[in-house]
Every structure is written in C-alpha cells, then in structure tokens.
C-alpha cells in the first residue's frame, strides 16, 4: 500500500506544493485508489496534478468527519468530475464513504457553518453514497472504521460547538469522526483525520475491528491542541506501551505535544508530497 500526502499544514522543503490547515491523502492499495479527505480548498487537486495523480481514477472518496478543513474541497472535486463529463474524459464511478452524520450542519463560536457546505442530496447526483456507522472494508486489507467506540474517559470530553440532529442543535461530540486501518504484514497502519473521537479510542477500535494488536504506524491528526496535562500524559503512556515502529503525527498536533511524543516514539516529519509505503 502507498499513501501520498496531498494536503497537510506543512509542506516538504524544496518541493513547491500548496499547504493549508487540513488533510487529504491519496491511498493506493492493490488495484484500488482511495482519496481520504479533501482539505479546505482546491489545493489538494493542484498538488495531485503536480504529483501526476489522476483523481478521476479514484474508486472511493472517504471522509474522516464533516469539518470544513476536511470537506470543503468537495466543491472543486465536483467541478473536476463535472468538467471531465463535459469534455468526455474517462472517470470511475466513485463511492463516497463516511459516517451518516458527516453532512449535518455544525456551528462553533458564532460561525453558522463549520461543516460540509454540500449536502448529501447534491453529492448523491455525482457519487454513490455509503453512509455507515459500521466498519466497511474498502479492500481486503483496508477498512473504514465507522463510528468509533469511545472506551476511555480522558478523550472526547468536551463538545466541539453544536451539531444539528433531527432539526435540533445539540452539543457536538463529533460522532461522525472516523478513520482507516490497513492490515500490513507487520501490523496495523491507522490513518486519521483529526481524531476528535480520541486517538487512543481510534487505535483500540482499529485493533478490535482488524483482530490485530500490533500497530506499526499512525498518520494524521491526533487532536492534541493544548491538551490537558492528564490527557497528554495518559496518551504518552498509551503510545509508550503500544510501541509503534513510527508515528506521523500532524495537522492538529501542537509543538508541545509533538516534542513530548518524540521522547517516547519515533516521530517522523509529515508534509505535502510525502509518500509512505507499507507491505
């Protein structure tokens, strides 16, 4: 399996890609191509062109959750498909995979919408939708985890604004936050967006779904932005016991947390253009 970073907060030195506070990864596993998140703008598509990646070849678009820095790139993606149809260019019929609440309206600190600005109804005209709380296997080795079990008490303790559910605004604990897990020959690779559901919860659930205790790597946001001392310390102890081969913590991980993680694990740099391979 190969994973290429199309969008991250950072870019790699001497490679002239666009960066933004968001996430988008291109995953190739077997004969399948998976686009995981689409960032905030068209920057992921610009970077894909520079990397000679044809997004029209994607079999799946997977959304980690509904926030703007992971879904607002859907608009330029729809433009890409629409223009391909106008010009008669070949493209695959793509399936969009996400949690059923991923398109619900979300608000925060007076902002009326921090969720997706395209509805599921609109997207259903362009993609086959698979909105599921259950794990869904994209390939024989790569799984969308669905709704994450929240099994510990130190993560996901505060809501992120409000979410509209059944026409009523409620505290948003981001139930739509999910991730991917890949079963390599040496253990699991866990691919996250922001980990609002808790990075330790996500890893525990990935191990359960995949029936595999070994974890070789985790790439993505760990939602460690000014974490409480308790959360950071328990998370560090969790990774100390997990003993992954590497960690690729990025996006929503602050410097203090990265420095702390680097003391207990092999923390690697992440930036647009990075390509990782797993057996």
d(CA 217, CA 140): 19
pLDDT for the residue numbered 167: 87
- Give the whole-angstrom CA distance, residue 110 versus residue 124: 30
Could you report the average pLDDT of every consecutive run of 10 residues in the chain (279 residues)?
98 96 97 98 98 98 98 97 95 96 96 95 94 98 98 94 94 98 97 98 98 98 96 98 98 98 98 97
Report which of 72, 67, 252 is spatially closest to residue 174, judged by C-alpha positions. 67
Is the Cβ–Cβ distance between 37 and 193 less than 8 Å? Answer: yes
DSSP 136-154: EESSSSEEE--SPP---SS
Chain length of the chain: 279
What are the sequence ranges of the domains in the chain?
A: 2-277
pLDDT at 161: 96
pTM attached to this predicted model: 0.97
Q: Cβ distance 115 to 67 under 8 Å?
A: yes
Handedness of CA 243, 194, 101, 57 (dihedral sign): negative
Helix (H, G, I), strand (E, B) or coil at 38: coil
Tell me the HSE value of 211 on the side-chain side, using a 13 A CA sphere.
1
**pLDDT value of residue 205:** 98
Pick the CATH number of 2-277 from 3.30.56.10, 3.60.15.10, 3.40.50.300, 3.40.1180.10: 3.60.15.10
């Amino acid at each position: 399996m190969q994973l290429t970073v199309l969008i991250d907060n950072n870019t790699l030195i001497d490679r002239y890609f666009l960066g933004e506070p968001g996430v988008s990864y291109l995953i190739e596993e077997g004969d399948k191509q998976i686009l995981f998140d689409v960032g905030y703008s068209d920057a992921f598509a610009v970077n894909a062109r520079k990397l000679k990646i044809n997004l029209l070849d994607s079999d799946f678009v997977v959304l980690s959750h509904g926030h703007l820095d992971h879904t607002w790139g859907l608009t330029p993606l729809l433009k890409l498909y629409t223009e391909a149809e106008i010009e008669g260019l070949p493209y695959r019929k793509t399936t969009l995979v996400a949690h059923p609440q991923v398109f619900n309206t979300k608000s925060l600190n007076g902002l009326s919408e921090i969720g997706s600005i395209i509805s599921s109804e609109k997207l259903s005209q362009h993609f086959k939708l698979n909105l599921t709380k259950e794990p869904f296997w994209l390939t024989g080795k790569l799984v969308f985890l669905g709704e994450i079990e929240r099994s510990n008490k130190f993560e996901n303790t505060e809501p992120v604004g409000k979410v509209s559910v059944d026409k009523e605004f409620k505290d948003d604990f981001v139930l739509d936050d999910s991730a991917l897990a890949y079963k390599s020959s040496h253990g699991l690779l866990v691919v996250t967006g922001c980990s609002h559901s808790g990075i330790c919860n996500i890893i525990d659930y990935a191990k359960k779904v995949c029936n595999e205790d070994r974890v070789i790597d985790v790439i993505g946001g760990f939602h460690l932005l000014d974490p409480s001392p308790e959360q950071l310390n328990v998370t560090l102890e969790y990774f100390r016991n997990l003993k992954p081969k590497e960690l690729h913590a990025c996006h929503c991980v602050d410097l203090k947390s990265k420095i702390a993680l680097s003391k207990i694990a092999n923390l690697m740099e992440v930036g647009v253009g990075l390509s990782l391979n797993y057996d």
